[in-house]
């Protein structure tokens, strides 16, 4: 009998073995059979749900939350003079109930989709607590983003620490970003347009915060990736969602700035930058890092170019198809062509070794 990678992932999800044991077993198998033979059929892990029962539960949770929102909303705005206290009470209760439900659906049942939805619900409860703090302390409106963002970040980080839900890590990053932007805009300029968060030419301080968020998320994601190069543990999923957060923050800031210049030099620099991002994605073997950035680029193409964007979209689509079809071959050639650098041996395997047909 042969154990596949999916079997190990299932064993980890079921709690039969630990993530460390799964990684050790995979490493041992790779050493015996050769890296490429063991990883040729492994794609970048991505899982939103394990079965239709999870979808059924998600629908139930959404209906349950809708009822909860209707009841608490009526109570909070029923004419009471102390709405801040009501907000704090219902927000705290929501966080507590969501945490209790997470113990069952995440720790016991190991469900993916309900865990993601519960992370969102907890974040909404934390936002409500943040608004309650604003009302109770009579804080000025300029502190809304920093107080709400900070409160939400603390709750979500604690939530991830106890339950290790990868999606909540991305939400934590967004909350930290809101907190940082709130601190800057408390005594300085306000955000007049979403482009202020990305354009280096008009609001360089805000865009630097955005790029800083992207770089920090990228570095943390790489640390997760390098601790699990075979991607059989939850650390790989943590890295996946952080890459989804990092790519738009980095790519959109530089891309929108170059687009706004509207010169031949800026367009050439943009093309060079996109090629560089594609190479980074191939090196770290993260299609999610590339795709989230490309998604923003497609949106920018439709936004910036009033007409004639068809050819640009066609070329981007063709490039993605060719890249996806030859990803492993390209990565093998690229990694072999690169000199040895720190951490290269901790990246996902790329060595092509002919499968040994003889008996082990």
- Exposure string of 226-250, with b = 16+ CB inside 10 Å and e = fewer, is bebbbbbbbbbbbbbbbbbbbbbbb
Is 32 among the domain residues? yes
Alpha helices in 77-112 (DSSP H): 83-102
DSSP labels, 199-263: -TTT-HHHHHHHHHHHHHHHHHHHHHHHH-TT--SHHHHHHHHHHHHHHHHHHHHHHHHHHHH-S
The contacts of residue 341 (CB under 8 Å, 6+ apart) are none
- Three-state secondary-structure class, residue 43: coil
What is the spatial distance between Cα 5 and Cα 300, in angstroms, rounded to a whole number? 38
- Quote the pTM value: 0.79
What is the spatial distance between Cα 45 and Cα 42, in angstroms, rounded to a whole number? 8
Nearest to 116 by CA among 163, 162, 150, 74: 163
Rg (CA), the chain: 23
CA 135 to chain centre: 32
Is 301 among the domain residues? no
- Three-state secondary-structure class, residue 3: coil
What is the spatial distance between Cα 208 and Cα 216, in angstroms, rounded to a whole number? 12
Is 109 among the domain residues? no
- Helical (H) or strand (E) element with 147: helix 144-163
DSSP labels, 270-335: HHHHHHHHHHHHHHHT-HHHHHHHHHHHHHHHHHH-SS-HHHHHHHHHHHHHHHHHTHHHHHHHHH
Residue 358 burial (C-beta neighbours within 10 Å; 0-12, 13-18, 19+): exposed
What is the spatial distance between Cα 186 and Cα 78, in angstroms, rounded to a whole number? 31
pLDDT 10s per residue in the chain (360 long)?
566 666 777 777 777 777 777 777 776 666 555 444 444 444 666 677 777 889 999 999 999 999 988 887 655 555 444 577 878 888 899 999 999 999 999 998 888 899 999 999 999 999 989 988 888 887 777 788 889 999 999 999 999 999 999 999 999 999 999 898 888 776 655 666 666 666 666 666 777 888 888 899 999 999 998 888 888 788 888 999 999 898 888 887 787 777 677 677 777 787 788 788 888 888 888 887 777 667 656 766 676 566 666 777 788 788 788 888 888 888 888 888 888 888 888 888 886 543 443 444
Hey, how many other C-beta atoms are within 10 angstroms of the C-beta on 79? 5
Is 274 among the domain residues? no
pLDDT of residue 163: 93
What is the spatial distance between Cα 327 and Cα 349, in angstroms, rounded to a whole number? 13
Asked if residues 151 and 126 have their Cβ atoms less than 8 Å apart, the reply is yes
Is 19 among the domain residues? yes
pLDDT of residue 139: 74
Nearest to 87 by CA among 75, 98, 104: 75
Domain that holds residue 14: 1-42
Is 25 among the domain residues? yes
Is 279 among the domain residues? no
Q: Give me the number of domains the chain comprises.
A: 1
Asked if residues 277 and 284 have their Cβ atoms less than 8 Å apart, the reply is no
154: left (phi over 0), alpha (psi -120 to 50) or beta: alpha
What is the spatial distance between Cα 172 and Cα 165, in angstroms, rounded to a whole number? 11
Is 14 among the domain residues? yes
What is the spatial distance between Cα 52 and Cα 74, in angstroms, rounded to a whole number? 33
């Amino acid at each position: 009998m042969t154990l596949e990678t999916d079997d190990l992932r299932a064993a980890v999800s079921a709690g039969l073995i630990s993530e460390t044991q799964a990684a050790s077993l995979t490493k041992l198998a790779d050493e015996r059979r050769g890296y490429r033979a063991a990883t040729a059929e492994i794609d970048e892990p991505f899982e939103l749900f394990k079965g239709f029962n999870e979808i059924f539960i998600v629908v139930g949770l959404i209906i349950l939350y809708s009822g909860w929102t209707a009841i608490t909303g009526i109570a909070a705005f029923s004419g009471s003079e102390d709405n801040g206290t009501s907000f704090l009470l219902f927000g705290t209760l929501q966080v507590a109930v969501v945490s209790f439900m997470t113990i069952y659906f995440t720790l016991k049942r190991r469900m993916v989709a309900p865990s993601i939805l519960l992370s969102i619900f907890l974040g909404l409860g934390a936002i409500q607590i943040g608004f309650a703090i604003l009302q109770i302390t009579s804080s000025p409106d300029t502190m809304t983003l920093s107080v709400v963002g900070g409160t939400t970040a603390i709750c979500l980080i604690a939530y991830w620490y106890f339950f290790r839900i990868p999606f909540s890590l991305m939400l934590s990053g967004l909350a930290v970003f809101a907190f940082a932007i709130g601190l800057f805009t408390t005594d300085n300029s306000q955000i007049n347009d979403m482009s202020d968060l990305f354009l280096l030419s008009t609001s360089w301080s805000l865009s630097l915060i955005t790029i800083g968020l992207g770089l920090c998320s990228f570095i943390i994601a790489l640390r997760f990736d390098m601790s699990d190069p075979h991607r059989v543990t939850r650390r790989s999923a943590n890295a996946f969602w952080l890459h989804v957060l990092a790519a738009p923050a980095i790519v959109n800031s530089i891309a929108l700035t170059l687009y706004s210049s509207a010169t031949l030099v800026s367009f050439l620099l943009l093309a060079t930058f996109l090629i560089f991002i594609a190479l980074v994605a191939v090196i770290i073997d993260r299609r999610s890092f590339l795709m989230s950035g490309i998604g923003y680029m497609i949106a920018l193409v439709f936004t910036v170019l009033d007409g004639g964007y068809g050819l640009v979209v066609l070329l981007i689509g063709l490039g993605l198809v060719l890249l996806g079809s030859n990803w492993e071959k390209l990565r093998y050639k690229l990694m072999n062509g690169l000199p040895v650098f720190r951490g290269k041996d901790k990246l996902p395997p790329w060595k092509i070794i002919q499968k040994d047909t003889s008996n082990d």
